[in-house]
Every structure is written in C-alpha cells, then in structure tokens.
Structure 1
Amino acid sequence: MTSRNKRRFRPTLWATLAVVPMLAVLIGLGVWQLQRLEWKNDLIEEMRGRMEAAPIELPQPIEEPEALQFYRVELTGRFLNDGELYRVAQPLRNTRGLYVITPMRLEDGREVLVNRGWVPLDKREPAARPDSLTSGTVTVEGVIRLGGWQGMEWLRPANDPQANEWLWMDLDRMAREAGLENPVTNVYVDLAAEQTPGAYPVGGQTRVNLRNDHLNYALTWFALALGLVAIYVLFHWRPVDDRDTTRDSG
C-alpha cells in the first residue's frame, strides 16, 4: 500500500552517477561562455579604441601586421588609378556592388592596396565616376586591415584574376595583377568615410560589428543545467510506500 499524498526524495546511485558529470559539464560550458563574453567585449572596445585614436604612420618595415590591425593610419602618396581591382562586396541599401581597391604609391616608394569604398555595379568602370579619379599627391586616412583568407581553408572561394573580381584579399596576387614594383603584401587599408571626392566610392566600410552571442549561449547552457536538475529531482520525488514507512519507524 502507498500512503496517500506522501512523497520522499530518494535518489538512486546510478542516476546520480550519470547526472552529476553531465551537470558539471553544462555549468562549465556556461561559465566558459561568460568568459568568452568578457573577452569579446574587451576585443570590441580595443578595436573601437584603435579606430578612434589619432592616425599613425604606416611602419617600415611591417614586422608584426597583426599588432597593427584596425589602427587608424594616414597615408600620403599618389593613387595608381590604372591598377584598380574589384572585390565583391555586401549589398549596400539593397543594391549589389563592389569595393574599389586602388594601389597607392607612398612617398617612400612603397605601394599599398587601398579599399577606397563601395560602388554599385554600374559604377565599376572609372569612366562612370570620373570625380573619384584623384590625381597628384594626396593625404588620406583609413584603417589598417590584414590580407589573406580569414576563414576555414576548405571554405576558401576562388578569386578570378582574369575577370578582375576578388572574393578575398590575396594581396600577393593582387599586387602582381596590378603590376606593382614595391608592394606591401601583409596589410591593406580601408579608406575612412569622406576621403574621396564625388559620391562614389563610398568609404568607411570597416565597422565594428563582431557577432557577440556569448551571453545567449551561456544562458542556454545554464538553462539546460537547471532543467537537468529539475528532471533529476522530479524523477526521484517518489510516493512513499507504507512498508518503507513502517521499516523506518521500526
């Protein structure tokens, strides 16, 4: 017989041995995501700080390109408009377009690839935007970026040098295609906004918009841990058998 409405929490050994390690893993994953959240917030703040600081000069030589990423930089030189390259870009205002990559020969003789900004497809040809063809020596500001493919190697798409269309910044190959003599091939520069006369290209394409879902991930892991605890308790919150009660009282 079972005592009516009487229940007792009576955990079993094997269920406990299975649940405790799982609970530890879930809580550990939640804590790890909170640590990742702190790291990502610090990274975003560092990037914004570099982009908002006073511009620096491009070092010579560039020994640690990773340490220069997202620093604002000032360049003085002459754009080599005949060497324009075109990188496939994200749509802007629901319009497909390209980034115009123009080599710039600096006063010290080095040549840097500069992403001057976005243009719609019908403005790809220089003749369609004559105001953008800056001549002579100019001084511009931009943000230092790293070249190369930043994703998984097996996902790397193929560029099309013959069509002059690039999906990622293969700086060595792009420099060769542009016929550069003394190229910088470990960094390039994204031009800041309002650095080009005329409406196009639209500069300022570097934005701090890193995906930051670590708090959601942490809450998910903690919720799963809480759910596991609830299932464990409910499973072991069993009705009390009268015979067990009798044995306990005896």
Structure 2
Amino acid sequence: MSETSKETSERAHFRAKPALFAVCLTLLAAILFGFGTWQVQRLGWKSDLIARVDQRVHSAPLPAPARADWDKVDAGNDEYRRVTVEGVLANDKETLVYASTVLGPGYWVMTPLMLADGAAILVNRGFVPTDRRDPASRRDGQISGPIEIIGLLRMTEPKGSLLQSNDVAADRWYSRDVAAIAQKRGLGAVAPFFIDADATANPGGLPVGGLTVIHFPNNHLVYAITWYGLAVMVLALLVFVVCGEIGRSRA
C-alpha cells in the first residue's frame, strides 16, 4: 500500500469515530426526549387523578355499593368516594392494625359492620393509642345497635406494609387486608373494600376517625424538565462535535 493510500485510510478511520459518536448522541437525545414526554403524560394523568379524588372527598355521601355490585368496585372509579352505610357493629370481631398517625403510634380499629342481608363491610372506625388497644379501656366507644357510618371507600391492602408483612397466625397486622382479616375473624360474605369512618365523634372519644391521609406525590413536572434538560445538553454536545468535524474537514 502506498503512503498516500495509507494516509487516506487512516483519515477515513478517524473520521468514522466522530460520526459514530454523533449517531450515539442523536439516539441518546431521542431517548431522553422520550422520557421527558412520558413524564408530561404522567403529569396529566396525576393531575386528573388528584382533581377526581378531591371532588370525591368533598361530595355528598352516596350509599355504599350494594352486594350485587361489589365485583365492579375498583380504585380508579371508587376509591376515596364518600359513602354511607347502615348496620350493626360486631365489636367482638374487631381487628387492630398498627398505625403511625399525627396523633402518634397506635392502631386502626377495624370492625365488621353487619348488614341486614348477613354480609359485612369492614369499617376502619379510627385510631386508638397503644395504651387503649384493649377494648375494655374504651367501652363507651363499643357502640351496640344499629348505626350509620359515613366515610371514604378504600381498597384492600393485601399482605402487609412496605416494611412488614402481616402475621395472620399471631394476629399482628400492618395493613388492612380485607380478605385475610375476614378469614381470621370467621366472617362470611365481606365487601372487597373497607370504609374509613369520618370524624364523627364516638362516645368516649375513641376511636378517633377522620384521619385518612390523601397524598399523591406529583413530581412529574420536575422529572420532565430534568429529562428535557439532559436532552438539550446532549444536543449541544452533538452540535459541538459536528461543528468540530466540519472545521477539521475544511482544514
């Protein structure tokens, strides 16, 4: 191979590297823009969800879904909807679920509300501190006879919390798992959801209802700006590489 041919081959080889780098930068920028666009779409979905939930929690309560409609209940259409239901509390079958609230550590009191047709809906009657977990220490709140419950419809929380699993055998609960609690307490037909009771005061002051925390993190705009910003930086680097290559080719 002549010296001239060798130089030409080497130049072509070195020029191929910037070209490949430019292609990689272009693909990376496209991917980053794609992530940014996805976050914009997520922002729209989250904003719509927050608006729908806000409307539900401030609406007048409607009758809780009837037994025939239980299989149609889902989070998207029903969770956090204000509902009302009448029945009799089965206080002897209450379940305590560990809770950490603005009032401190303690327990949610989950009590079956027995309906006229013999079915049940689990009701989170509210919070009791650790030193009042024994029902004997809050007898006034063990309401007997027909009662109307108004609260927010919530979806079941199967298996446990993020940190701890429910220990069904030991009767230690870290989430409001409707099916598992119903089986443990020997209940029959039970709604696949539960109701967070509102702040209506119970006799004796316990349990304390109305402590539902409704919070949906909405950082999608920040994420979108971050992805788009990274994409712009990659494009700036691409322009620098291309301009440099053009400059060298003219030299």
Q: When the two structures are aligned, how many residues end up with a matched partner?
A: 231
Task: Classify the secondary structure of the residue corresponding to 1:164.
Answer: coil
| TM-score, reference length from structure 2 | 0.81
CA distance in 2, matches of 1:65, 1:239: 62
Q: Does residue 101 of the first structure (1) align with residue 107 of the second (2)?
A: no
**Structure 1: runs of 5 or more not aligned:** 1-10, 246-250
User: Which residue among 33, 36, 42 is the counterpart of 1:30?
Assistant: 36
User: Which residue among 65, 77, 83 is the counterpart of 2:73?
Assistant: 65
CA distance in 2, matches of 1:40, 1:212: 7
Decide which structure has greater helix share: 2
Task: Give the conservation status (yes or no) of the 8 Å contact 2:79–2:155.
Answer: yes
Change in CA separation of 1:219 and 1:198 when aligned onto 2, cut-off 3 Å: farther
Residue 146 (structure 2) aligns with = 137
**Aligned-residue CA RMSD (Å):** 2.7
Residue 149 (structure 1) aligns with = 158
Of structures 1 and 2, the one with the larger relative CO (CA 8 A, separation 6+) is 1
Residue 174 (structure 2) aligns with = 167
**Structure 2: runs of 5 or more not aligned:** 1-16
- 1:195 shift after superposition: 4.6
Which deviates more from structure 2 when the two are superposed, residues 27-36 or residues 42-51?
42-51
CA distance in 2, matches of 1:134, 1:141: 15
Q: Write the deviation string for residues 53-72 of structure 1: whole angstroms up to 9, x where unpaired.
A: 22121222112120432221
| TM-score, reference length from structure 1 | 0.81
Task: Classify the secondary structure of the residue corresponding to 1:198.
Answer: helix
Change in CA separation of 1:106 and 1:201 when aligned onto 2, cut-off 3 Å: same
Q: Write the deviation string for residues 28-70 of structure 1: whole angstroms up to 9, x where unpaired.
A: 1101101100101101111121222221212221121204322
Which deviates more from structure 2 when the two are superposed, residues 159-168 or residues 26-35?
159-168
Percent sequence identity over aligned pairs: 34
Task: Give the conservation status (yes or no) of the 8 Å contact 1:141–1:195.
Answer: no
Residue 230 (structure 2) aligns with = 224
Q: Does residue 20 of the first structure (1) align with residue 26 of the second (2)?
A: yes
Change in CA separation of 1:70 and 1:240 when aligned onto 2, cut-off 3 Å: closer
Task: Give the conservation status (yes or no) of the 8 Å contact 2:18–2:241.
Answer: no
Task: Give the conservation status (yes or no) of the 8 Å contact 1:140–1:195.
Answer: no
